Structure 1
Amino acid sequence: MLKLFRVMVRRDLLLAYRQKSDVLQTVFFFLVVITLVPLGVGAETELLRSMAPGIVWVAALLAALLSLPRLFAHDFADGTLEQMVLSPDPLPVIVLAKAFAHWLTTGVPITVFASLAAVMFDLKAEVAAVLVFSLLIGTPVLSLLGSVGAALTLGLRSGGVLTSLLVLPLYIPVLIFGAGAAGAVAVAVSPAAYLLITGALSLFALAIAPWASAAALRIALE
């Protein structure tokens, strides 16, 4: 299974490398959102500092939603996904590998560019560090739970809209605790509880999402 996981991750990363525009689109959208918000709310430094964690997390969430359709769509269009489902290889491992590759091409770049957002919002070093760390441990939830929504809406018209409606309520807990960790540091409160819950949400998604996505894929392809 480990070999299958490595092969699938390598395959999806290679496909993402060949279609750089999809990855760049996600990062560009994230940067546009965090850039436009200050223009709309004003240049008050303290206000922007207090809003920064929430703004960055909302931008990350929306950018992840934008990239979810490509998780299974290309393989579905050329028939590769059907062969994956019919193969003797465990489908949850395949789904987990695809979600991991999605996180590497979406969650990791967003986390890296979040440090730029910290500079834009003039965050203190400790607040910026906790914000980046919360994204690092929290963005896997966006890919894992997003894979469930993408599988459920596979092949449907307006699938992207339906995926958003299904997945957004599931993203709320990680949004609250991920942004809350950086907010806690800003008011001199320990962020440990927020970070532990964020990490627990990622582990919970890791435990259930691959099997839920695999079941949804089988239903979608019947």
Structure 2
Amino acid sequence: MVPVIAIDGPSGSGKGTIAALVAERLGWHCLDSGALYRVLGLAAERRRLDLDDPLVLVELAATLPVAFEAQRVLLDGEDVTNLIRTEAAGLAASRVAVHRGVRDALLGWQRRMARPPGLVADGRDMGTVVFPDAPLKCFLDASPEARAMRRYKQLKEKGLDANLPTLVEEIRARDQRDRERAAAPLRVADGALVLDTTALSITQVLDQVLDAARRVFGDLVRQRTSP
């Protein structure tokens, strides 16, 4: 079996950053499942599809022309890496992700990412649905205010407009949708390492996840993760 580390959590909890750092340290593949839903939402909006119509979204998901190359995300050959990181793309992703058929259509694509030497997967249902047998599952969380501030700084650094109070409300609304949706709701997987990142630095969170990886995978990762 290919070793898998599943990292889940709400928007802005730091799971994407940590997953990428862990994958880099281990030399493993990295799956940003949120990017898939963001690309799907963007593709649907460009085709003027109804984001509340699961039938047309499932058809699009089954043939989604997306490719991941290094740090770039391509849609129909176009680099959309920055476009899918906007708040609008995040809201679209949240809307399309509520449909069970859409999630089922993307499930196989995500599982095929588990290739040697290993995979670090981040999302909202990596440890509960996509990789329920992952030996190491983590759940990162933080207060809505802290997550909104992180997002605010990211957007400002990219030269994009942002309003902090609006971001807080959008994050709260997205949390509610993600936790209450019928298909693969956001929840802590059984046996997951739960970390509240509100007052933790990236380095502190990374150290705790790597410590857990050493305990779970032993010599398989110890040399690469030793301080």
Give the shorter-chain TM-score range.
under 0.3
Which one has more relative contact order, counting CA pairs under 8 Å at least 6 apart? 2
Higher helix share: 1
Normalised TM-score (structure 2): 0.26
Normalised TM-score (structure 1): 0.27
Bigger Rg, structure 1 or 2: 1
Higher strand share: 2
